[in-house]
Amino acid sequence: MSSSTSARAGEVLLSLEQVGLRFGEVQALSEVSLQVRAGEFIALIGANGSGKTSLLSVLHGLVKPRSGRREVASAGAQAQVMVFQRPFMLSLSVWRNLMIALWLAKVPRQERRSRAEAALQRAGLAALRDRPARALSGGQQQRLALARAWARQPQILFLDEPTANLDPSAKAEVEALLASFKAEGMTLVMSTHNLGQAKRLASRVVYLDRGKICADLPSQEFFQAQHLDPRTELFLKGELKWDMS
């Protein structure tokens, strides 16, 4: 179940052209140009403060850039959902969290129950449907957030560090769920500090440094390439220092 069938693989869904973004004196993004194509799994990587979350927010339309242009190139790309590092859970059951999310998304009433049931099965949460959502473990809450997102049938799913605070077992469960989304054709854009995760999941890697895109390559090429930019090399080696000029 996915709205990804409305776009052909490789079709440009969303693009940024020379985008700049400032927060006070901080230049969060500078001259960023990027295209998101149907069926891609893009990993945004970079050190803290490199601009990953800012880029996700601009791509999703949560934040308007100060300069440049954001263009939704495909009508289907307007169906977008963003899952945050610490998703918000209502003080209600797992089931009600799903049903209310679908109601807010204006999913037709006759479709909500079947979508919610399918999402619970997909995320491995069917046995927990009556449990208070806030009583779930961190990994279960993240899977519920992904179930809510999947049930809305987005064209593009944005993810901000979705496994940052999870133990290895919960992280593996979330990664398996994301891989299954990718396999069925959903387009995903995810920020992550975990280079192994980017290598396992992503079809394309975008490396940001100080608000600029320094590398944008297919995943296999990125991790095998001899980068010309010395800071990219240092980041991949885990040697990039905060005080580097």
Domain coordinates in residue numbering, the chain: 3-236
31-36's contacts with Cβ under 8 Å and 24+ in sequence apart are 31/68, 31/212, 32/58, 32/68, 32/211, 32/212, 32/213, 33/68, 33/213, 34/59, 34/206, 34/213, 34/216, 36/12, 36/77, 36/156, 36/187, 36/189
Q: What distances in angstroms separate CA 120 from CA 72, 87, 96, 147, one per listed residue?
A: 31, 17, 12, 6
* The pLDDT value given to residue 245: 41
Separation CA 179–CA 224 (nearest Å)? 22
**Which fold is adopted by the domain 3-236?**
Rossmann fold (3.40.50)
Kindly give the confidence (pLDDT) of every residue in the chain, 245 residues in length, as a single tens digit, with 9 standing for 90 and above.
444 446 788 899 999 999 999 999 899 999 999 999 999 999 999 988 899 999 999 999 999 999 999 999 877 666 899 999 889 999 999 999 999 999 999 999 999 999 999 999 999 999 999 999 999 999 999 999 999 999 999 999 999 999 998 999 999 999 999 999 999 999 999 999 899 999 999 999 999 999 999 999 999 999 886 766 778 888 887 777 654 44
Nearest residue to 201 (alpha-carbon basis) of 226, 233, 228, 179:
179
Quote the CA–CA distance of 145 and 139 in Å, as a whole number: 10
Q: Are strands 212-218 and 204-209 parallel, antiparallel or unpaired?
A: antiparallel
Cα separation, 12 vs 182, in Å, equals 16
